[in-house]
Amino acid sequence: MPTEPLSQKDIEDRLLELPGWSLEGDRIARAYRLSSHFAATAMVVHIAQIQDELNHHSDLTLGYNTLALSVNSHDAGGAVTEKDFELAQRVEQIAPGHGAS
């Protein structure tokens, strides 16, 4: 996967395909709400599995029934790259199965 920084335009274009995700400073981010603390915790574990598979790791904050992710690429000097969007896509794919919204 390329690790070059994406342009502002590329980031905005890709965010259009990821409802709920936004640019927060130099990171892409999204929060999810779940039905319970256990459901949120289970999704964290699933995300951890994906992150290890991709070797790309978000900052992930677990609340009572919420979780919040933000990610950029320190490999690219803290810029947003394709890898960040790949992780976001993968998390979006599993979110419905966890009842996350």
Which region, judged by CB under 6 A, interacts with ligand H2B, from 16-24, 31-39, 66-74, 91-99? 66-74
Q: Which two tokens stand for residue 101?
A: 């919204």
**End-to-end alpha carbon distance in the chain:** 28
User: Minimum distance between the CB of residue 79 and ligand H2B, rounded to whole angstroms?
Assistant: 10
Nearer to ligand H2B, 26 or 75 (CB): 75
Q: Which member of 28, 71, 79, 91 binds ligand H2B (CB under 6 A)?
A: 71
Q: Which two tokens stand for residue 92?
A: 């979006």
Q: Which member of 16, 19, 25, 55 binds ligand H2B (CB under 6 A)?
A: 55
SS3 breakdown of the chain: % helix, strand, coil, rounded to 5?
Answer: 45, 20, 35
